[in-house]
Amino acid sequence: MRIRRFFGQNRQTFFLWFLISGIVTIWMGKNKNTEFKTLDSSEKRAKQEEKQKEERKENERIARGCILVIQSILRKYLVLPLLIIAKNIVRILLFQPPEWYEDLKEWNREVHVKCTYNGVQLSEREFPKNWLIEGIQIKILFPFRPKPWRRSKLRSHHRDPSRPR
């Protein structure tokens, strides 16, 4: 009862005291640290955003490295052999001689070289320890391009002597 009576009688006084103390602290400059607190919180927020960006970049490198390795393996051992098979089957169906030997010879020349972002060549058989974090690039030397037909060696060297040049 006493508490109720105290707050009931002095409610206006309590509110007035709270209001005046707030105005005085702002006016006297006691609340100068709020500016620094906002700067500190903005700095903290900026640092957190920077850390998140770095983590995002690291995750992107990991994802990109994995995707590049998978794409390289699929290209070398799945897509290109299927293209060679399909091309030569179509040539057989069109009553043209197949070019298995030439295509396989060109396909075997294709080399996938693993490099760092700086272009430093890595081992052909093994990956370095931190390749996911540091990042990787794959350079294809002598890329195989399936050709629908090739020039015949006989035809390119044969010239008819009766035809004028």
Decide which of 81 and 159 is more confident. Answer: 81
pTM of model > 0.85: no
pLDDT of residue 132: 77
Residue 118: which pLDDT band, with cuts at 50, 70 and 90? Answer: confident
pLDDT of 155 higher than 80: no
- Does residue 69 contact residue 138 with C-beta atoms inside 8 Å? yes
pLDDT of residue 35: 52
What are the residue ranges of helices labelled H in the chain? 2-28, 33-74, 80-93, 100-109, 131-134, 153-157
**Burial class (CB within 10 angstroms; exposed 0-12, middle 13-18, buried 19+) of 37:** exposed
Count CB neighbours of 50 within 10 A: 10
**pLDDT tens digits, residue range 9-55?**
555 555 555 556 656 565 555 545 555 555 577 888 888 899 898 88
Domain boundaries, the chain: 54-145
**pLDDT tens digits, residue range 62-115?**
888 889 889 999 999 999 999 999 999 999 999 989 989 999 999 999 999 888
